[in-house]
Amino acid sequence: MIWQFDIIILTLVIVSALSALRIRDLLGSAIIFGVYSFLMCLLWAGMGAVDVAFTEATVGAGISTVLILATVLHTKRRTKD
């Protein structure tokens, strides 16, 4: 792995994790969660675990986001805390 990419991706992972927790809009939170999964996928791919990266991209960034979105659209978009 190239350590410069490592640092950038890990920083973005932490930023997206914190903002997915802090953001008030649940729709935005779901999308940022997908971004988080995709960054993790890049990390796996960088470490040579291509199968894990593939699973993370399809299941984590793809289907999970869609399922969370489908649920969020049936609730209120704004969270109270």
Partner 1 sequence: MSLLKEFKVLAFLVVLVTGAVLVYAIGDFPDWGDPISPASEHVSSYYIENAIHDTAVPNIVTALLADYRGFDTMFETVVVFVAGIAVLFMLRRPKRESEVSMDVSGSPIVKTATRIMVPMMQLFALYIVAHGHHSPGGGFQGGVILGASLILMAIAFGLPSALKKISNKATVMLSALGVLIFSGIGILCMFLGGNFLDYSVLSAILPGTDRVMARSHAMLGVEIGVALTVMTAMFSIYADLASEGQLDQGL
The stretch among 11-19, 20-28, 32-40, 63-71 that binds partner 1 (CB under 8 A) is: 63-71
For partner 1, the binding residue among 14, 25, 66, 77 (CB under 8 A) is 66
Give CA–CA dist 2/23, Å, rounded. Answer: 31
For partner 1, the binding residue among 8, 10, 14, 70 (CB under 8 A) is 70
DSSP element (H, E) containing 32: helix 26-46
Give CA–CA dist 22/24, Å, rounded. Answer: 6
Contact call for residue 59 and partner 1 (CB under 8 A): yes
Residue span 29-58 as binding mask against partner 1, x where in contact by CB under 8 A, dash where not: ------------------x--xx-xxx--x
Give CA–CA dist 46/77, Å, rounded. Answer: 35
Give CA–CA dist 61/21, Å, rounded. Answer: 17
Interface positions with partner 1 (CB under 8 A): 1, 47, 50-51, 53-55, 58-59, 62-63, 66-67, 69-71, 73-74
